């Protein structure tokens, strides 16, 4: 599989701090607990979900 080069903007935006900030905003807005997870996908290295992640992802934070 060929690696996809990331744009400098994506590299700046795709980080734990931004994912955590989104999780905090969603927690405040929805009242639901939010997980910040590492995906292993270079295009989307972090994501936020209110569902428990599957075994291929690593929980980095729980915003409760």
Q: What is the pLDDT of residue 43?
A: 87
pLDDT in the model for residue 32: 98
Burial of 46 (0-12, 13-18, 19+ CB in 10 A): buried
Encoded tokens for 6: 């990331």
Query: If phi over 0 gives left and psi between -120 and 50 gives alpha, with beta otherwise, what is residue 40?
Result: left
pLDDT, position 1: 57
Give me the residues of the chain with pLDDT under 50, please. none
* Residue 8: per-residue pLDDT: 86
């Amino acid at each position: 599989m060929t690696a996809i080069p990331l744009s400098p903007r994506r590299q700046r935006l795709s980080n734990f701090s931004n994912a955590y900030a989104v999780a905090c905003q969603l927690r405040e807005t929805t009242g639901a607990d939010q997980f910040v997870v590492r995906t292993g996908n270079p295009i989307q290295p972090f994501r936020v979900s209110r569902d428990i992640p599957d075994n291929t992802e690593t929980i980095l934070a729980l915003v409760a």
